[in-house]
Structures are given as structure tokens and as C-alpha cells.
Structure 1
């Protein structure tokens, strides 16, 4: 018998697969246990630490880039001195940070200003020998850890400072100075009541600490920082690895912590060599250990499925498999008796054909008995009734229905997670925190684009048109978030543009500066930063009065995509989508009315401070943990009234109730799918061919000697078909012999077929 043919393989596969589902039900559901701190809470804290580390990294990268851009934009002249150069480079800097200029070849201090700058370990010649950007360094100044940012300052070839050694630099060669700026570590923004965020160095020492509400007891000075240092050491320095830890328990609460390295995830970056780590922690209520125990349910469900399997096996074995095998033997015996001669053949035909089973098998058994009697000459053709009882198709359908009685409740009714209680309060609070962090990232990006544009606008006055064009091109190449940069005059016409054609421009030239949406419809939202270009008395005027930088919405979309945050949308004041981490249509409404209500609750009107909010919403796809947060409370984006809305399906969270529902549904789906597939397989290879053989066999028993019966499959049904064909040939030969008056030879047809082959 072929591997996929016959009656045995589909029945055996059905039984084995259903027993496998029963075993998986025990293993899958029995392995779900309640934890004192759910894994979803620990994972959320880890993601919050990673999001906070991303904000710290973005701030450091932006500061390092600003120092380099300031140095690159400075144009040294023959009259430039170290003191005047340093003053020009730090004119717009913070008052409390220090800055120095060093000779790039000798490392000698040329000028200093502001606060103290620690230069221990700074080797100017080595640092300026390469061509790439010089990464920041973490140094200790006056007992506090600070960051040193570096940039090269290029001088014209003819400029050589009188205080420098003329013999060390040949006349006519270009000189370089090294700018070093010392600044405190960036502040950390924390969200969520009771959460503490700490920036640690590689040894686990706290450098920056911030908390919101009452901090956890062991947030900064307990065992968590040292445990974090060990975890970071095990994961390797200079990576964006993250993890979670459990701290001390106090009463019914326990500290859960997450850590993440402040390192670039896309390649070498400014923060890779700093060894900074962000540690966030907060105390959460613990759950009881016996809150969820699914062992008893798993055993009961598996036992019920085993009973179903036994019923199916009994029905298929005793009603299909055994009768078919007996019929197969009977058909072979009659075929030998019909195609051979002698006493042995007569003995084969002398034994009656027992009728087993029902439906098609019973019909074939009766027609075989009729053919046996016709071969013996005991009777003539026999008519069979047209109306018949239920067949094996009904048995297969009843088998699927029997499994469905077990599977349907598993899929739709049992272990259903309660929307109100399935998601713990800490998980809901963490989703709100992550929404606020996402809003902070978007705000940082938009604020930085405005700050960069303001720096460019400050360098436009006094330059020729070609120089202004070159400056805008350089800015566009350096800042990938812009689609285009252009200048508008008083009439709103574009007087200078680099990059792509703007999606749309404002008709009325705005005053001041900030971020705005230029259109309210279309395929792509037009979001732009803008700032005024000041006029310089006695110098060449700028080509326009307002500088616009159109922001590529793809850069905003990339900011929103974070692990385990779900779908994220940025909406305008009317709750229309401007950017998203998933596919969307510009200016469409949020995909659910509940999300729209949540977004409106986060901020009532543009310019208001707003309050982040979160909830659990139910939909056709199941419950989801949703949160909304206002984009900004201050700065150039505060007047927009934008929100950030997040929606994470509860099915993606590792919650016991949700896991139990998922695995219960999976067991039901597998059982229903396996039973349908295997019984469908049985229908294709056994039941449907049996029906066809029964119809042809009844025609043969009724006197049809001309219709040839062709066996389709090499299995039991095919053997029965071949036996019927041999009996047809014997009966046809007997009929021809009777009409010609000759004695029929039962073996003649077989000999003729053998000679033909």
C-alpha cells in the first residue's frame, strides 16, 4: 500500500494528532503559573529603560553634532586669534559650561573660557589625526562626571599664531585647532508615579538621578546598580543591550528595574565608548502565587479530548477500517473464483459474501453477493433500490462534529480573559509611561529640527546668494529629516530652495518661529519648521525673510517604532493622523472610536498642558492596552495640540490570563483543523471512491456488462474495483459463450488479458 493511500493512514494520523493536541494542552496550559511580579511588568520596565536610554543618547548625539556644526560653520580669517575664535564659537553656549582651544599638533592650550575643563588623557595629535568625528569622552571635573565634546577648527594656511612655534609648522600649511567643550551629563526625564531613573557609569556609580513621586528604596544606592553593572559586563560594552531585574520586597510591593546601555543600535556612534547605562525602577504591588493555576483545567480538557479520540477510533475502526478490509478480502476471493477454473475456483465462489458495516460498504457487500450468485448461475441480474440510508460521509461529518463539541468551547468560551482584570494596573501605567516617552522623542526631534534651522538662519545674513545656497545644501545633506529647505519673501514666494519641491507652502508668511503643518489634506502631511532670517545692517540681505525646513514624515515614523509598544500614531489637534509606526492614510481618523476619545481626553485644546491617560479597550480582535499623551507642554511645538496615541494588543503581553486564553484557543483550533484535515483525507481516499464503486458495482450486478471499471488508487478500494472488473469480464464472457452455444471457460478472460499484456 502507498504511504498516503488506504484507510489506515488517515485514521492513524487523526488519532495521533489529536493525542498530540491533548499532550500540548497539558504542557501548554499546565506551564502557566502566576508570578509575584508578572513578566509583562518586568518587560515593560526594561522597555522604559531602553526608551529613556534612547532619549539620553539622542541628547548627547545632538549636543556633539551642534559643537561640530558650530566649528564647521566658523570661518577663520587672517586676523583670527584663539581668544576671538573661542569667543565666537561659544557665543551662544550655555553660561556654565567650559571650553578650550588646543593646538592640534602640540596639544598646547591656546585659549579657555567658561567653567573648568579637565584635559587629562586628551591627546590632541592622536584625536585629530583621523578624518571622522571625534567622539565625546566622560571625564571627572571637580569631583563630578562631565562630558567632553570635541570638534576640529580649521585655519587658513597663512594664519600662524605668534605664540606658536613657527619651526614646527612649515609656512603655507593649513593649521588646525581642537575645540573641547565640557558640559554636565544630560538630565533624565522620568514618567510614572514612583519611578526613578539613574544614569550609571560602567562601574555602577550613579551619575545622574531623577525621580517622579516617591522613589523606590533601593533605586540608586541599593544593590540594583551593582547588579546592573554585572549584567552590562556580561552583555558586553558598546552595545544597546537591555534587561530587567527584581529588587527588594517591602510588604506587598517589590521593586522592578530595567536597564539599558546608552549605545547606538545602528552602528558606531558618539555614545558607544562612554559606558553609560540607564537604570529605571519602581515598586509595584505583587500578586499571590496561586492566583492562576491551570493544571486542573489542562488535565480535564486533555482527558475529555482523549475520550473523544477513543470514540472516534472505535467508530472508524469498527465501522470503516475492519469492514473495508473484510470487503477487500471478499472481493479478491470472488475475483480469483471468477478468473480461474477448477475445484479451487469453485470453492472460492461457494462461500457467501458477509455484509459488514453500513452505507457504501453494505451496498458493495450485497452487490458482491449478487455477483457471486450470478457467477454460479444461481440467479440473474438484480435490481437495487434507488433510495439509500446515510453513508460514510455522514459518519465523517459526525466525527468533525464530535471534535467540534470539544474544540468550539475551547476557542470561544473557556478561559476567556476578563478585559477589566486581565491587564494588571502596573502594565497599564507602563503603557502610559511609554506613550509619554514616545511623545518626548517626537518633541525632541521637532525641537532639534527647529534649533538646527535657527542656527542656519543665523548664518544666512551677510552671505552671497551662492554662499547661502551652499550653506543650505550642506545643511540638507547633514540633516536627513528635511525634505527641502527654502526661503520665502514677504509675498510668500519661494526665493531660494534646495532639495525636493515643497509639498505645499504657506500663503501668508508667519512671524516668529516654530513648527507647523502646512496642509490639512493630501497624501502626505506637510510638516515644517520655520524661523525668521534677521536683517544685518550694511550687509547683503538674505534671499528671503523666513527660512522653512520641510520635515520628511518618514523620519517621524521611524521614531515611533519601538519594541513591544504596539501601534503608535501622532495626531493633530483634530485627532487626524499625521505619522504612525504602522501603515496609514494621511489625515485619517484613528482606527477606533475609543482611541479617538482617549486622545481627546489627553489634551483638551491646543496650548494646554494636557494629561497623559491610559485604558484597556475591547475590540473584535481582543482587548488592547492603550494610552495617549500630549506632545509638548512647552517649546516650539506646544501650540500645536498634537498627541501621541499607542495601542498594544493584550495578546502580545505575557500575562497569565491572556496566555491561558491564547493556548486554550490554539488547542481548540488545532484539534478542529486536524480532525477536519484527516477526515477530509479519509473522504478523498476512501469514502468518495467507495461511493463511486458502489454505483458502478450496482450497475454491474443489475446487468451492465459493458461499463469497464478502472481502479484509480492502489489501495483497498482499488483492489475491490479490480475484483469487480474481473467479475465483469467473467460474466461478459459467460454471456457471449451462452449466446454462441459454447461452454464458458472462467479462465479465458484472464488468459486473454495476460497475452495482451
Structure 2
């Protein structure tokens, strides 16, 4: 008869799932092979190129914004001469290589300073047409000269006095919608393209244009003039340029390449598109690609895991077949025979002569567990129906020692499967992180941590430099003009949480943005960057610059009546969190001089200690000795980033050795879990653990299913059958399951009804027997 469930589906599912896990074990472990250069090293080089691209893009955007801000805040010279106007926008101490003032309508140069600004191939009239937004930087070159970065800004200057035709040659025609008293010119500043900042011993960095030409290089003097026997760098540059072009359509912004280096070394090269890393429009048209690389020694040939994979998969196949055969022989086959025997007895109890002949056939009884007990109960019921014997005597009240049943059998099967899965989950293929992580991967973590520290330092230096420009603009400005300058600078610097001015007494004179967490008291002299608090809920970091004394204030008689003031920019912690966070670097913390956390890429409390003492000891190694600068450090240690997280590749780097942030004593600390690196040892460990977990899960799930649908109903059925065989004919048996146990329960109910009918017939026969007559002659 067809059954909806029963004993067969769980056993068949267990066999199939275990065979699938065995196949997964053979394929997953057998396909892991040791590489001469691990994938983790190639990924790290790609991420280093991405970090360099982000740094270069941010620097270009900052320089472009600085030129636009200077053009907007400077006051044009009183005379209408273009040369004087250009000097008012570009001071002599400007770090740029050259500057020019152009007529945006004709593209004609009105004034120039410094070196010649290369405008070949640059359509000035289309760039500066009215209604367009900020003009993005351009990369221009002139003949064999080095390329120059062109930065643009629109400037509005007073119209020259005199007749229009007299000034036409210098200023050009006015635009249709332009004020007759003003004219709009185009300021162009040319700068040398800065080389990307790369870290790590032996690493080179190049800035490549879309034609594969190396524009700038760092730590690679030989890269620009390679020898005839080694042309790897130009070839890599061309390949990276082509890959960057393809990235415009495929969306891949970065990648890595592997080639041959000198003396049997392997050359690992990473590339990243500058515009894709930056994510803004200011660098989208430059077409630059960052190229980083280093020579690494190929790894020695490691262990082959094919043999282990085959042995583990074969052992699981044997266990799967063995468990299936045991369950089939001791549970599935006897239960099916019991189901057929109970159905035959139920049919034989119908009362016909043919059916009663079936009562002569004994019930086959197996001598194991609950199925055997149900079989013996059925045999007793058969004998009662055939009249061979009566109900079984009641069992003694004292507890009877039960033999192991089907529940113990299921538990043994679980233990057999666990004997295969537990060692894979906790013991086998465990690689010590100190030996599994190559030294080059640890060095790459240190280099990326140095890059993160450099990114924070540049951001702080840029904030201080821009703040000094704001301080110069505030000198002698009215209160309304000063408020406008502060608001504009606050809008240009999202990293500023608050921007305010302190007077000589330290009182708050002007403020834009949020309320300061803690003002500088007393007002400091000079300029720099200071950590304002050492406790509290939010770290307060402030950059400050002295406002130069205006000439009219310098002539006052009483120095106290002069108005020297300090402009302060409070840097938000959220901005620092974004600066230290980098993909693939793991958990990153920014700590103060006492190794307390100020910012982090993960959740933290202000001024808390690092997660583990090992990290604190690593940071201590970066402290500078008296009279020397601190140096970065890295190691494989337990970073305590997560409970049970294991070993991590950690690194620490001092924030700055020079500049306004040098006195802070800050450190950038990073920790990447070693298991997250794409190394063969950790891949084998992860896949081994996954195979053991799958086997345990499959065994527990399928055998738990078997326990629910077979073992528990069978144990309840055993009690019902034994009570019926013992003479309990009054308890009605209700089948619950549509399987073998349910079928046996229905047959037992039919047998119970047959026994009840037999008892009623026997009682009726007794009632029909006449009572014995009294002896004759007896008294009435």
C-alpha cells in the first residue's frame, strides 16, 4: 500500500545527503592548491593601489577646491591691468609652476606668471561657457615636457575704466548677461603632477595616463628609464592603462597582475583607476591610473590536499553505507514486515473460514527493541483469537530492565557520523597563523596601515593650511564679512564640526556650525592642531590659527585694544572614522598618545583601550625613542577583535613625524583576521570545517527526522500493543500517522474489536445455559 511517510524517506535522505557531503569534501579540498604567490598578496597589492588612487584623487580635488576658494575670496587689484589682477589671485609664494589669466570667450591669454601654462589640446571656450559648474582639472602636456595638471577657477573682476574699444585688446568683449561694471575671466594654474605615496620596502608607484605613459613615479627611478633587459614596468603600465579603459564598461575599478621579476622573483602589480576610486567629477576626465608593484620571492611548494580529500570522502561514503545498511536491517525491513503481519491478522479476524485459516500462521518476531515487543504482542493476540491461550499475565510492579531499543540505535548512528565530522570541525587541518601567514602579507598590512596614517595626516594638514587662509581673510574684515567667510569655509569643509573665532580674552566672538564641544581656553598663540579633551563621550580635536593683526589695529596705542584673535576649526570624529576605514584592512583604530581610541572603523567608546593587550604592546613598539622618530610595526597576534576570532595580522603606524599634527602622538592601528586572508592554509581549514559541519547537520537532521516520525510513534505503539495483549480490551486505539506505525495501530484496533466480539459471544453462550433443576421431593 502507498504510504505518505514512514521509515523509508529519512533513511534514503540520510544516505543521499551524506554522499553529497562526501562529494563536496573531495571537490572542495582537492581543488585547493598552494600558489607561488598567494591570492592574498595579489589582493593586498590591488588594495594598496586603491589606497594610493584615493589619496591622489583627494589631493587633486583639494587643490582644485583651494584654487577656486582663493579666487573667490581674494580681492582683485584696484587697477584693471590683467597682470596686477593675476598677482592678487596667485601670490608669489604659490607652490604652482605657472598661472595664466584667460579671456573665456576667446581663450586668449591676458596675463601669465611662472612657467608657460600648456594649453595645447584644451578648448578653453567650451570649458568656460556660461551656465557650467566648476571646471574639472585637466592633464595637459607640451611636446616632450612633463605633463602638467591644470586647475581652473572663474574670477569676477571690475571692468576697466575708459572706453570699451580702448580696453578691448586686454579684456575682450563682455558677455550678454554680464554686468557692465564687471567682467568674468578664467584663472588657470598649472602644477606638476604629484607622485602617488606608496609605502613598504621595495614597492614602486607610478601614475599612468590613458596611453600607458608614466606621468609620475615614486620609489622607482629606474621605472622611467628602464634597462633593455627589463621592460616590466612599461609593459605593466600599458596593461594597466588598457584595463582602466575596459573598466569604464565593465565596472572593474581595480585589479592585480602577476609577472616575472629579476633573479627568479615574481612581480606583483596592482592598478586602480583614479576617477573610479575618487567617485567625483573633478578627476573623471584625467584618465589616470595608479600602478603599484613589488618583487616577491615565490612561495615554496606546499602540501597537496588531494590525498586527504579522497581519504576523508571515502571514509564518509563507508559510514553512509554502513549506517544505511544498519538502519535498513534493524528498523526499516522489520517495521515493514510488522506492518504486513498486523494487516494479515486484522483481515483474519473478520470471521470467515478462509480468514480463520490465516490465524494458524504465526507472526514473525524479531528479537530487537520495540519492533520485537510489538511482534510478540501480535503473536499473543493471534493465539488468543485462535483459542490457544488467554491474555498474557500482568507484568510485575517492580521496574523491568529494558534492553536497548531503536532510540539507542539512532543515537549510535549519530555518534558514528559525529566521529567523522567532529575532528574535521575542530581538529584537522588547523594551520598556526604564525606559520600560515607569509611575511609579505604582514608587510602589506603594515604598508596599508602607514597609508591610512598618511591619509589622516594629510587631512589634518590640509585643514590647518585652509584654516590659515581663512585667518588671513579674516584680518581686518567686518563682522558681516567675517561671518560670510566662516560660513563659506564651513560649507567647503564637511570635516569641520564647528568653526568659531576667539577674541583676545578667549571669549567666543563668532561661530558657525554646531556648538563647540569644548572651546580653547585660554586663546592659544600661533597655530597648530590640539586634542582638546582626554575624557568624555566625544573626542574634541581642534585646528587653530592666529588671525593676523590688521594695519589699522596695529597702530592703536594700547596693545589690549588691538584685535588679535584665533580662528578654530573643530574636526568631527565622524570624518576621522571615514578616513581610517578602508576595505580589506580589517578593524582600524586611531589612538592618542596614551593609546586610547579616538576614532575607529568599528563601534567604540571614546577614550577606551584597545581590544587586547597584545595590540597595546604592538603600539608601544612604535613609540619613538628620545631624539628619534617612531617607526611602524606589525605582527601576527591575537587582536581580540571578536570572541573566538583567532589570530589576526596587526600593524601600527605613527600618524606624523612633521607638520602641525606631529605633536599629537597619535597612532593608527589595524587588525585583519588571518582567516579572512585568501591563503591556501586557511581555505583548506575553512572548507574542512564546513565539511564537518555539513556532515553533522545532515546526520542530526535526518536522524532527528527519523526519531520524530518513527521512533517516538513506535514507542507509543509498543505500549498499546502490550496492553492489548495483556487483556485491556476497553482502550480504543486511534491511529495518528499515515505510515507503518499508523497502519499497525489501525490493525490493532481491528484486533481489539475482534477480541471484544469474541468476549461478548462467550458471555452470551454462558447466559443461554439453563440453571440446574431442584431435586425431587424437596420442600418448596
For the aligned pair, the TM-score class normalised by the smaller chain equals over 0.9
Alpha-carbon shift at residue 615 of structure 1 (Å): 0.7
- CA distance, structure 2, for counterparts of residue 488 and residue 35 of structure 1: 61
Q: Does 1:190 align with 2:195?
A: no
User: Does the alignment pair 1:336 with 2:355?
Assistant: no
Question: Do 2:502 and 2:508's aligned partners in 1 also have CA atoms closer than 8 Å?
Answer: yes
Cross-structure match for 1:282 = 294
SS of match in other structure, 1:496: strand
Residue 473 in 1 paired to residue 487 in 2? yes
**Structure 2 residue 425 is matched with structure 1 residue 423:** no
- 2:126 corresponds in structure 1 to 126
Match of 2:237 among 208, 221, 225: 225
Cα distance in 2 between the residues matched to 1:259 and 1:405:
48
Match of 2:501 among 487, 496, 512: 487
1:515 maps to 2:529: yes
Question: Which residue of the partner structure matches residue 692 of structure 1?
Answer: 716
Q: Name the residue aligned to 1:348.
A: 358
Question: Which residues of 2 match residues 524-603 of structure 1 at below 5 A?
Answer: 524-538=538-552, 545-603=565-623
Q: Does the CA contact (< 8 Å) of 1:240 and 1:260 recur in 2?
A: no
Q: State the Cα deviation string for residues 452-488 of structure 1 (Å, max 9, x = none).
A: 2222222112222222222212222221111211222
Distance 1:236 1:442 in 2: 30
Q: Could you tell me which residue of structure 1 aligns to residue 773 of structure 2?
A: none
Matched, 1:153 2:151: no
Task: Specify whether residues 345 and 159 from structure 1 end up closer, same or farther in structure 2 by C-alpha distance, changes over 3 A only.
Answer: farther
**Any conservation in 2 of the 1:240–1:262 contact (CA below 8 Å)?**
no
Displacement after TM superposition at 1:725 (Å): 2.1
Task: Give the whole-Å Cα distance in 1 for the aligned partners of 2:445 and 2:116.
Answer: 42
Counterparts in 2 of 1:106-505, with a 5 A limit? 106-129=106-129, 130-141=131-142, 143-156=145-158, 163-164=167-168, 168-169=174-175, 172-173=179-180, 174-211=182-219, 218=230, 221-236=233-248, 241-265=253-277, 267-288=279-300, 290-338=301-349, 340-356=350-366, 358-382=368-392, 383-384=394-395, 386-505=400-519
In structure 1, stretches of 5+ residues that fail to align are 745-757
Question: Equivalents in 2 of 1:579, 1:378: separation in Å?
Answer: 90
**1:680 maps to 2:688:** no
Residue matched to 1:751: none
1:524-545 residue CA offsets vs partner (Å, 9 max, x unmatched): 2222222222221216999872
Distance 1:220 1:306, change over 3 A: closer
Change (3 A) 1:602 1:582: same
2:33 aligned with 1:19: no
Q: Are the structure 2 counterparts of residues 528 and 159 from structure 1 closer, same or farther at C-alpha, using a change threshold of 3 Å?
A: farther
User: How far 1:343 sits from its partner (Å)?
Assistant: 2.2
Are 1:488 and 1:544, in contact at CA under 8 Å, matched by a contact in 2? no
Asked whether the 8 Å contact 1:355–1:365 carries over to 2, the reply is yes
Task: Measure, in 1, the Cα distance between the counterparts of 2:512 and 2:348.
Answer: 96
Aligned equivalents of 1:481, 1:183: Cα separation in 2? 26
Shift of 1:179: 0.4
Shift in alpha-carbon separation, 1:544–1:367, aligned structure 2, 3 A = farther
Q: What is the TM-score of this pair, normalised by structure 1? A: 0.92
Aligned equivalents of 2:466 and 2:654: distance in 1?
23
Question: 2:266 and 2:202 mapped to 1: Cα distance?
Answer: 12
Identify the residue that residue 778 of structure 2 maps to in structure 1.
none
d(CA) in 1 for partners of 2:493, 2:23 = 57
SS at match of 1:279: strand
Secondary structure (helix, strand or coil) at the match of 2:275 reads coil
Coordinate RMSD, CA, aligned: 2.7
1:194–1:212 Cα contact (<8 Å) kept: no
Distance in 2, Cα, partners of 1:430 & 1:68? 37
Distance 1:363 1:686 in 2: 15
How far apart, in 2, do the equivalents of 1:428 and 1:133 lie?
43
Q: 2:725 aligns with which of 696, 701, 724?
A: 701
Q: Deviations over 1:43-76 (max 9, x none)?
A: 1111111111111111111111111111121244
* Greater C-alpha Rg: 2
Inter-CA distance 212–518: structure 2 relative to 1 (3 Å threshold): farther
- Cα deviation digits, residues 109-162 of structure 1 (max 9, x gap): 111112211122333332122331101111114611111000100235787885
Matched with 2:557 is none
**For 1:378 and 1:605, how far apart are their aligned partners in 2?**
103
Check whether the contact 1:192–1:212 (CA below 8 A) recurs between aligned residues.
no
Structure 1 distance, partners of 2:705, 2:92, is 78
Deviation at 1:637, TM superposition (A): 1.0
Superimposed CA distance per residue, residues 8-40 of structure 1 (whole angstroms, 9 cap, x where no aligned partner): 111111111111111111111111111121111
Using the TM superposition, give the Cα deviation of residue 221 of structure 1 relative to its aligned residue in structure 2, in angstroms. Answer: 4.5
Choose 679-688 or 730-739, whichever is displaced more: 730-739
SS at match of 1:602: coil
* Residue aligning to 2:734: 710
Task: Describe the superposition over 1:723-757 as per-residue Cα deviations: whole angstroms up to 9, x where unpaired.
Answer: 2222223323333444454999xxxxxxxxxxxxx
Whether the aligned pair in 1 keeps the contact of 2:77 and 2:85 (CA below 8 Å) is no
Offset, 1:168: 4.9
